[in-house]
Structure 1
C-alpha cells in the first residue's frame, strides 16, 4: 500500500479534519504588522536591524525606536513572532539600545516638520503607520512609469488646458455626494490628481473585487509624461482622499447658442478662415490646405491689416477665403471649441518673430475648406460638440 500522509490516513478512518480558520486582525493589529514589515524591509535592504544615533537617517532612527517598543510589549511580540524571520524581536541587545524616552516618533517627526496632534489616542505603537490597505492603495497610485508614447497624448492635455482656460471645460470636486459613481469612470475622461491632469486611456474588462463589487484595470496617463496601471477603485479612493482632486467636465457649448445675451456674449461674431502667402516651405507645399481659423467681433480686414508684421499670421500677408456670421455667441468659447475639434490637424510650426524670438502659432490647421464649412453648419445647429476631426479620413467623425 502506498505511503499515506497523516491527513489521508485520518480521512480513511472517517475522521474529519478541521481546517484552520484564517485569522482576522483589528485595525490596531494591522498597523502594528504594517509597521513591523517596514522594519523587516529595512533589514532585507541593509542586512541589519535599524540603529539609533544622530548620524543615522531619520527614518532608520524612527524604525529603531519602533523596534524597541515592539520588543517591550508582550502583545506585540506574540502577534509578530510568526513574521520575525530575522529574530528582530530578540531581547538580547535591548539593553544596548538608546532609552526610548530619549527619542520618540513625535520628536523625529517634528524634525521632519510634521505636526503631531497631542489629543490623539494613546496607541503609541505605530501611531503614524498607515494600514496595509492604505499602503497598497497609495503604492498603486504612486507606482508610475515613464509613458513611452506620450507624444500621442500630449495634444490631448494641451487641448484640455486650453478648454479650461476658455471655460469650455470646468472642474468639479470629486466627492461622494456629487452623484459621481466609480462605475462612471470611463475611457477618455480627465481628472486632476496630485496636481497632475490624469487621462483614462484604457479601461480593461470588468473583474469581481473581493468585496463583491465590480472593478477594472485602468491605464492612466498623466500630464507629467508618466503612466500607471491601477484599479478603478484605487483611482476612486485616491480622488476621494485628495482634497484637490477634481473631475474635468466634458466640453460644453455653454452659452454659444443661447437665445439671450449674457455677460461676455456678443451680439454678433464672425468666424474667419485665412490662407497664408508665406514662403515657408511647409506653408508653400500645402498652401491650399493650411488655414487659420479664428473668431472676431469686429472687422476681419482690420484684424489682418498688419499680418506681415505679426508672427501669429506667419509674418506674411493673408487672404480671406471664407467667413461666417453668427449671433448670440461667446467669442472665446466658440474659438476654443473650434480649435478643439480641429486639434488633431494643428500645424506644428515654429518661426522667428521680428526680434528673432521663436514663436509657435497655434491657430493654423491642415484641413480642407469644405470640412471647415461642414463644421460651421454643426456649430449653427449645436451638434459640433459631438464631433472631432479625423485627419486620416479628412472628415468630421462622431466623438
Structure 2
C-alpha cells in the first residue's frame, strides 16, 4: 500500500511535470543569442575549460571559441547574457577577432553561412556535421612507447641523409593511394606516422575511403578518414612526405662473422597446366622473401592458391643479411608491378583467389634487380614490360 504524501512532498513529486515558465519579452534574436551561449556553457560543463582556438582542437571547440569571442565583443549581447553567466565566461576576454588572419577566421567560421555575423544559430549545420565526421580529435596515444623508437629512427635518418622530405602539392598528383600504412608525413610541424589503414569503403561521393590510425611525434594520435588526411596535407603549405630510406648496400658480398642471416629471396617457376601459365612458363616467376627454409616453404604448393595450386621448382635464391624482409619484398614487388600476372585461381574450396607474387619477367631481369638492390641504385630504375628489362627513370 502506498504511503500518504504530505502537501510539500506532493508538490516536490509533481515539480518535474510542471510546464516550463514562459520567457516573456524576448525577441527571436535574443532567444538565439541565449541558446548559442548555453551551448558554450554546456561545453564548459563537460570539458572544464572555455573553448579555445587552434588547429589541434575539435572543430566544435573552435566554433564555440569564435562564438564566445563574438559575444564578448558586442555590448548588447553582454547586456543579455551577463545575468546568465554562471561560469564567468564573458569577463575573460579572448584574443580579439581582428588579430586572426582572414584565412584562419574563414576556417573558424565555416558552417555559419552568409548570415549576419551577429546571428548565432543553435542547430548544427550540415557543414558542421560533416566536419564532425571527417575531422577527428587528437588524443593522447596510450601505447606511444611502441612508436617512439620509429620517430627517433626517422629523425636520425633525416639527419644522416638516409631519408629526405618532399613537398606535397595537389597539382603534382599526390593521391589518396599514396597514403599507405607505414608512411611518414610532416603535418602541422609534427611528424605523422600512418600506423593502421582500415577496410576500404565507399564515401558518399562514390570514391574509396578508409579510416586511419595516425600517430604524431608529440605523443598524440587521431582516428581520421584517409581523404581527411589528404585534405589536411593539401591545406598545410609546409606539409611534406618523408621518403623511404635509401636502399644502400642491402647485401654484403661476403657476410661477416657477426652478421645475422635475415632470410632468402626466392624465384620460383610453376608446373601448373593452366593454359596461361603453360604459355608463359619460361618468363613467369613467383618472387618472394622468406625467413625460413625455401624447400619447406614450397612443400605444399599444390594445395596453396598463392602457388597457383601446383608444384613449383626453385629457379634462384639470394641470401639476406641484416635486412628487413617485409620492406625488401615490398620493394621488389613495386619494381615489377607493371608485369604482375593477372589471373584468378580457385582454392580447394572453390573460392576465387588472385595471387599477387607472380610476374611476367625473365630470369635475367630478376638478377639485374637484385644486383641494383645490392649497389643501392635500384631507386633510379623501373621495369619496362615492353623491353623486358630495367630502365632508368625519366
Q: TM-score, normalised by structure 2?
A: 0.46
